[in-house]
Structure 1
Amino acid sequence: MYDFLSYHKEAGVGTLTLNRPGVYNAFNDGLTYEIQDVLKAVKKDDEVRVLVITGEGKAFCSGQDLKESASQKDRSFSDSLHKRYNPIIRAIRELPKPVICRLNGVAAGAGCSLALACDIIVASEEAKLIEVFINIALVLDSGSSYFLPRLIGSSKAFEMSTMGTRVSGKEAFEMGLVNKVVSANELDDAVKGYTDYYAKAPTRSIGIIKKMLNKSQNSSLNEMLEYEAYCQDIAGSSEDYKEGLNAFLEKRKPDFKGK
């Protein structure tokens, strides 16, 4: 079905795998549009309760395929971002479901941005995050200028982005860039620990929480207090809330359906 990625779903978990291992899963036009297509499908698919994004082979994603870019002489950077990259980042942040990055190897440039846009990053010790834009005299894009300072502060973000610093999986964990770092042979089990939880969690409520946290980045306390009250009414009308309450009263484990 897809030429540059693979996608499958099983037991509530969707897995999107970038599949251009020969070029370290670098983005070409086709791959970016295919990712957009999968994200649209996942949003509409009630069977998918959590999405995992990863890369085939040794790398997660090395960013834009520069050989392809060099062959397109009149390419507009802004058009490329508006049509190809920005829709991906927005779709991940607006997806009302958790998105987990299985960071199996290098994530560079826009590939680093893709990882940072996810809700949770589980990294291999062999993984590296690199904002490589400066190495060809370009600037951050695909959301990195938004995510980096919020995750690690302005000074570290400046250093990482202006020096093209290679950050290992362990260093990324210590900096707060990733949620968990494990050895390569433990990566699948570590990701499964998250997907097992989210595939049976109250998905609708998690989607609301994700929206709240996004909004809080640029809101005052009073604005968030009002928004919390608004959102709590929505969550309190869900089927999962009723199930959770009944399970508590009946002293059993809730069976959430994500509705």
Structure 2
Amino acid sequence: MPTSDQLVFSVEAGIATIRLNRPDVFNSINKPLALALQQHLRACQQDASVRAVLLTGTGKAFCAGQDLAEIVDPNSPGVSEIVEQHYNPIVQLIRELDKPVVAAVNGVAAGAGANLALACDVVVAKESASFIQAFSKIGLIPDSGGTYFLPRLIGMQRAAALMMTGDKVSAQEAVQMGMIYKTFPDETFDNEVVALVVKLATMPTKGLAYTKQLLNASFHNNLEQQLRCEADYQYRAGHTSDYREGVAAFIEKRKPTFTGE
């Protein structure tokens, strides 16, 4: 079973908070933490009371990627097995989760830590945070979906350069190149993140899930296929309780109260 002290998990007011909790090693990921993260992402999917998920870190870092002490352990599986068993399931769970997932990057996000953040639906960061595709520095290739998401976010040239050089990208630069959504000042970061996640948790959850599914589909659909998908999902959205509430609130000139149904 996953070790609970590797990760802090809580659910309150429709928000599930997943906090990586290995601050002494900059929240680098080992097997217990990876399995705990998988477990709690699955729990978020199954818990109808959860309407938004917040992924962040404890201490000075968001996540420094793989714990290299685990890799050099002679009893540890190989690098490719670690990727397949630990990281790939996490990325798939994030993308398949029918709720918005916000990565709140509270410090450095390096290697797999950076790419797990980029797999989330919305990424915000402290102004002092940074992102590093650190794989080339130890002779490895970017994993955890990095070669999939990063070129789609910032273009092939920039993605290739950052992955090959391992150059550090400041949070402000990440916003400018379209890698992340926005930054918040360090001193107001926690409050700004809470406000953002509360907003998402009180919006039409099914509509947001359909939006996420359409964005996922857009990576492989052509225009005709995507238009058909939009029509299909609009039909589904138009039959939700939140749609009826949204229209009624608009007509009655009041703030809607969405239930996620």
Tell me if the contact between 2:110 and 2:133 (Cα under 8 Å) persists in the aligned partners.
yes
Give distance in 1, aligned partners of 2:250 and 2:190.
Answer: 32
Equivalent residue letter for 1:92: I
Deviations 1:62-116 (A, max 9, x none): 0000011101366222222221110000110111111111100011111011110
- Normalising by structure 1, report the TM-score: 0.97
Tell me if the contact between 2:70 and 2:76 (Cα under 8 Å) persists in the aligned partners.
no
1:3 Cα shift?
A: 2.4
Give distance in 1, aligned partners of 2:130 and 2:252.
Answer: 47
SS of equivalent to 1:151: helix
Give distance in 2, aligned partners of 1:5 and 1:112.
Answer: 18
Residue 8 of structure 1: aligned partner? 10
Deviations 1:94-152 (A, max 9, x none): 11111111100011111011110111111111111001100010001010000110011
Q: Which consecutive residues of structure 1, in runs of 5 or more, have no partner in the other structure?
A: none
Residue 209 of structure 2: aligned partner? 207
Tell me if the contact between 1:103 and 1:122 (Cα under 8 Å) persists in the aligned partners.
yes
Give distance in 2, aligned partners of 1:45 and 1:75.
Answer: 32
1:182 Cα shift?
A: 2.0
Residue 166 of structure 1: aligned partner? 168
Equivalent residue letter for 1:214: N
Aligned Cα root-mean-square deviation (Å): 1.2
Give distance in 1, aligned partners of 2:128 and 2:35.
Answer: 28
- Normalising by structure 2, report the TM-score: 0.96
Aligned partner of 2:253 among 222, 233, 251: 251
1:234 Cα shift?
A: 1.0
SS of equivalent to 1:71: coil
SS of equivalent to 2:254: coil
Give distance in 2, aligned partners of 1:236 and 1:108.
Answer: 41
Residue 239 of structure 2: aligned partner? 237
Q: Work out the percentage of aligned pairs sharing the same amino acid.
A: 44
1:236 Cα shift?
A: 1.1
Give distance in 2, aligned partners of 1:161 and 1:72.
Answer: 28
SS of equivalent to 2:5: coil
Matched, 1:53 2:55: yes
Give distance in 2, aligned partners of 1:145 and 1:72.
Answer: 29
